[in-house]
Chains A and B, each alone.
Chain A
Amino acid sequence: MLKIKNLHASIDDKEILKGINLEINPGEVHAIMGPNGSGKSTLSSVIAGKEEFDMTQGEIVFEGEELSELDPEERAHKGIFLSFQYPIEIPGVSVTNFMKAAINAHRKANGQEDMRANEMLKLIKEKSEMLEIDRKFLSRSLNEGFSGGEKKRNEIFQMAVLEPKLAILDETDSGLDIDALKVVAKGVNKLRTKDNAVLLITHYQRLLNYIQPDVVHVMVDGKIVKTGGKELALELEEKGYEWLKPEQV
C-alpha cells in the first residue's frame, strides 16, 4: 500500500530525513518509535504533503502512485489521513462546518454529490458517540480551547468520519489518560480491516497494548535503525534508545 524508498527530506537546507525505507501492506499496523527530534513528525508531514519540506531524494508510492507531485488535499482524497501531534486551533470554524467541508471535498473528488444534511448529521452523531464526544463540542471552534486530550480525540473522530485507507497517528496517545486512550484505541481498531493500514508514531509502549502492531520500527536521527516485531517495543521500553545510536547499527 505504502512504499517509501530512500526518502531524504530537508527544511531550510537542513537534512532531517536521511534515507527512510518503509513498506506497509494492507491490513498491517506499523509502529514507529524513537527519541524526540529524530524526525518522526517530519516523516508523517512529508507523507501527508506538507510543502515546507523539500523532498530531496527518494520516493513515496501510495497504491502504486508516486505522491511527490500531489497536493495535501489530493493525498487526502486518495485515503491518507494524518492525526496531528499538535492539532491546529482554528477559531471561528466550527467542528461541524469543518467536517462538512472535508466530507464534501472527499465526495467531490470521487465524483459524488454533496452529502445530504440528514445523512451527514447521522454520520457525525454516530462517530462522535463512538468516541464519546459531547455534542456541544461539535459546534465549538475547531480545537480552540480544547484540552490536549480533547484535541486528540477530535483527530480520531475526524479519522472515523473520513475512513482513510492509511491512517498516520502522530503521538495521538501522548497527553491522554487511560480512559481516553481506550476510547481512541477503540476508534482505531474499528477502522482496521484487511484493506486498511495504520502507522502509529508513539513514545510509549502503552498504546501498543491496545493497538497491537505487526511491525515496530525504531527511528533515530532521520533513519530507521531497527525493525522488529511487537516485542521490540517492550525491549525499547526497558532499555531506552541509547543502545541503538545510528553509528552502532
Chain B
Amino acid sequence: MELKDKLVSSFLAFEEEFGGENDDLHNIRNQAIQDFERIGFPAKKEEAWKYTSLNSVLKHDYSFFPKKDDSLEYRDIKDYLIDNIDTYDLVFVDGVYSSHLSQTTHDKIDVCLMSSALCKAPYKAVVDNYFNKIAPKTGLNALNTAFTREGAYIHIQKNKMADKPIQIINLSTGKESAMLLQPRNLIVVDENSHVQIIERHQSLTDRPVLTNSVTEIFAAKRAIVDYYKIQNDSTSASLIDNTFIEQQSESFCSVHTFSLGGKLTRNNLNFYQKGEHIDSTLKGVTLIEGKQHVDHNTLVHHIEPNCESHQDYKGIFDGNSTGVFNGSVVVEKEAQKTNAYQSNNNVLLTDKATINSKPQLEIFADDVKCSHGCTIGQLDEDALFYLRSRGIPKREAQGLMMYAFANNVLESVKIPELKKRINKLIAEKLGVEVGFSL
C-alpha cells in the first residue's frame, strides 16, 4: 500500500488510541486528515518542490504507532545534548516522551508535553487560541495535525524569562524497521518574555527514519525568541521541518539552522510579522557531503510598517550533495519602511555538487530597503595561496577557509556553550583545528 493510503486508513485506529476527549481537537484532526487525503504529499511539479523529491523517502514501509521505550539511559544520549550547562530538557524516544531523560517545569513558566496540554483544562485556553492557527494548509502540515500526539509545549507567561535554555530532543531507536515521526510543538511567548530553545533530531541506528515536524511559535509584544536547530543526523534519517512564527510588535525572533547531516532535509520556515518594529532573523549553515540533500524554503511576510528581516544562509557542498535555497520576502503595501536583507552564499567543492538558489521578492510598498544577494563559487584562489605559502597543506587550507566562510553565521548564537559545540562540529567536519587563543 502507498504510504498515503496507509496513513489515511490508519487514522481511525490512531484516533481511538491517542485521540483523547477533546471534541474541538477531534474536529481539527478530522478536518486535517481530509485535507491530507485531498492534498497528499508534495509533488515535484509544485514550484516549491521542484528541486526536492520525496520519492526516495516515502517508499519505506514506515511504522507510525509509537511504542514506549525506556531502555535508553542518559549516557546513550548525552552526546546529543548540551550537557554541561543547566537546561530544561524535553526528550522524546520514538515519539514518546521519556520522563527519566527529561527535565520539565511548571514553575512560573510551562515547559512540558503537548500530550498533556492537549487534554488538560489549565492549558485549554492557550491551546484553543494557538494550536494549529498559523500552520498553512499543506499536505504535510495537515498530516502532522491529523496525527498530533506528542511534542513540546512551552508557554512563557508575561514578563517572564525562561531562566535556562530549553532543549527539545527527538531520538529514534531503530527498534522498528522504519519509523515515521511527527512531533508537534507549540511555543507561546507572552509579552516581554524571553526564551532560548535548542531542537535536535537524532537517529541512533541506520534504519530509515522520516520526521515530519511542525512547530508553531507565537511571540507577543516585545518578546524575544531564539531558536536553534541542530540537524546532524545519520544518512538514513530524513527530516521535513515545518516551523511557523507569528510575531507581534517589537518582538525579536531568530532561527538558526545548522544542517550538517541527514539523508534529506527540508526546512519550511515562515515568519509572519503582525505588528511594527519587529525584527526577524533567519540564519543557516549547511555543510554536507555524499548524496545528502538540504533544502531551505523560507518566507518572511512583512505586513506592517517599520520592520526588519535578516536572512543569511551559507552552504558548503561536497561530493554529490545537493542544496536548495528558496527565500521569499513579501512586503505588503502597508509595510512601508521595511528593511529586508537576504543573502545566500555557497561553495561547491566538487563539480558534482549542486545548489539551486532562488530568491523571490514580492514588494508592494514603495518606501522599503530590500537587498538580496546570492553567490555560488569555489574557494578564493588568492586566499588559498596565501595560506599555503605559509606551509599549510592544501586540504587544511581549504578547511580553514571553509570554516571561516561558515563561521560568521555563528556570531549571533547567544548560548556560548552551544556556539562552542557547533563550532567544534563544523571544525571537525572540515578537518581543522580551532579553539586556540591567547
Task: Give A residues with C-beta under 8 Å from B.
Answer: 45, 48-52, 71-73, 75-77, 81-82, 84, 87-88, 90-94, 96-98, 100-102, 105-106, 109, 117, 121, 124-125, 135, 138-139, 141, 158, 162
Q: Which residues of B contact A50 (CB under 8 A)?
A: 385
Q: Which residues of A contact B434 (CB under 8 A)?
A: 97
Smallest CB separation, A104 vs chain B (Å)? 8
CB of A88 within 8 A of CB of B391, answer no
The verdict on B107 contacting chain A, using a C-beta distance below 8 Å, is no
Q: Tell me if B's interface is mostly helix, strand, loop or mixed.
A: helix
CB of B408 within 8 A of CB of A102, answer no
CB of A92 within 8 A of CB of B389, answer no
The verdict on B405 contacting chain A, using a C-beta distance below 8 Å, is yes
Q: In the docked arrangement, what's the CA distance between A51 and B394, Å?
A: 12
Most chain B CB neighbours (cut-off 10 Å) among A90, A135, A138: A90
CB of B381 within 8 A of CB of A52, answer yes
CB of A91 within 8 A of CB of B404, answer yes
Q: Which residues of A contact B380 (CB under 8 A)?
A: 88
Contact among A101, A121, A139 for B392, CB-based, below 8 A: A101
Query: Known: A105-B392, A105-B396. Is A92-B404 also a contact (CB below 8 A)?
Result: yes
CB of A98 within 8 A of CB of B390, answer yes
CB of A72 within 8 A of CB of B389, answer yes
A–B Cβ pairs within 8 angstroms, 13 of them = A49-B388, A73-B388, A73-B393, A88-B380, A88-B382, A91-B408, A97-B434, A97-B435, A102-B391, A105-B390, A105-B396, A109-B391, A125-B438
Query: Known: A90-B401, A91-B408, A92-B408. Is A73-B391 also a contact (CB below 8 A)?
Result: yes
CB of B438 within 8 A of CB of A84, answer no
Q: Which residues of A contact B392 (CB under 8 A)?
A: 73, 101-102, 105
Contact among B382, B385, B391, B437 for A96, CB-based, below 8 A: B437
Q: Which residues of A contact B404 (CB under 8 A)?
A: 90-93, 141
CB of A90 within 8 A of CB of B383, answer yes
The verdict on B63 contacting chain A, using a C-beta distance below 8 Å, is no
CB of A100 within 8 A of CB of B436, answer yes
Closest to A143 in B: B386
Q: In the docked arrangement, what's the CA distance between A105 and B432, Å?
A: 12
Most chain B CB neighbours (cut-off 10 Å) among A87, A94, A101: A101
Question: Which 9 residue pairs spanning A and B have beta carbons closest together?
Answer: A92-B404, A76-B391, A72-B388, A102-B390, A92-B407, A88-B386, A105-B391, A73-B388, A93-B404
Q: Which residues of B contact A90 (CB under 8 A)?
A: 383, 386-387, 400-401, 404
CB of A71 within 8 A of CB of B438, answer no
Q: In the docked arrangement, what's the CA distance between A156 and B386, Å?
A: 14
Query: Known: A71-B388, A105-B396, A162-B391. Is A94-B437 also a contact (CB below 8 A)?
Result: yes
Smallest CB separation, B261 vs chain A (Å)? 21
Q: Tell me if A's interface is mostly helix, strand, loop or mixed.
A: helix
CB of A88 within 8 A of CB of B383, answer yes
Q: Which residues of A contact B433 (CB under 8 A)?
A: 97, 100-101
Q: Which residues of A contact B228 (CB under 8 A)?
A: none
Q: Which residues of A contact B435 (CB under 8 A)?
A: 97
Given contacts A101-B390, A121-B438, 19 further A-B contacts (CB under 8 A): A48-B389, A71-B388, A72-B389, A73-B392, A73-B393, A81-B389, A88-B382, A90-B383, A92-B408, A93-B400, A93-B404, A97-B400, A97-B433, A101-B433, A102-B390, A102-B391, A117-B436, A125-B438, A162-B391
CB of A105 within 8 A of CB of B393, answer yes
Interface size class of B (residues with CB under 8 A): 20 to 34
Smallest CB separation, A115 vs chain B (Å)? 11
The verdict on B147 contacting chain A, using a C-beta distance below 8 Å, is no
Q: Which residues of A contact B437 (CB under 8 A)?
A: 94, 96-97, 139
Q: Which residues of B contact A71 (CB under 8 A)?
A: 388, 394
The verdict on B403 contacting chain A, using a C-beta distance below 8 Å, is yes
Q: In the docked arrangement, what's the CA distance between A162 and B433, Å?
A: 19
CB of B394 within 8 A of CB of A73, answer yes
Q: Which residues of A contact B408 (CB under 8 A)?
A: 91-92
Smallest CB separation, B402 vs chain A (Å)? 10
CB of A96 within 8 A of CB of B390, answer no
Smallest CB separation, B423 vs chain A (Å)? 11
CB of B396 within 8 A of CB of A101, answer yes
Q: In the docked arrangement, what's the CA distance between A60 and B181, Å?
A: 64
Q: Which residues of B contact A162 (CB under 8 A)?
A: 390-391
Q: In the docked arrangement, what's the CA distance between A82 and B262, Å?
A: 43
Contact among A49, A106, A125 for B389, CB-based, below 8 A: A49
Smallest CB separation, B435 vs chain A (Å)? 8
Q: In the docked arrangement, what's the CA distance between A229 and B295, Å?
A: 65
Interface residues of B in 330-358 (CB under 8 A from A): none
Q: Which residues of A contact B381 (CB under 8 A)?
A: 52
Q: Which residues of A contact B407 (CB under 8 A)?
A: 92
Q: In the docked arrangement, what's the CA distance between A94 and B391, Å?
A: 17
Most chain B CB neighbours (cut-off 10 Å) among A45, A73, A102: A73
Q: In the docked arrangement, what's the CA distance between A109 and B436, Å?
A: 21
Q: Which residues of A contact B393 (CB under 8 A)?
A: 73, 105
Q: Which residues of A contact B385 (CB under 8 A)?
A: 45, 48, 50-51, 72
Smallest CB separation, A102 vs chain B (Å)? 4
Smallest CB separation, A75 vs chain B (Å)? 8
Smallest CB separation, A170 vs chain B (Å)? 11
Closest to B399 in A: A101
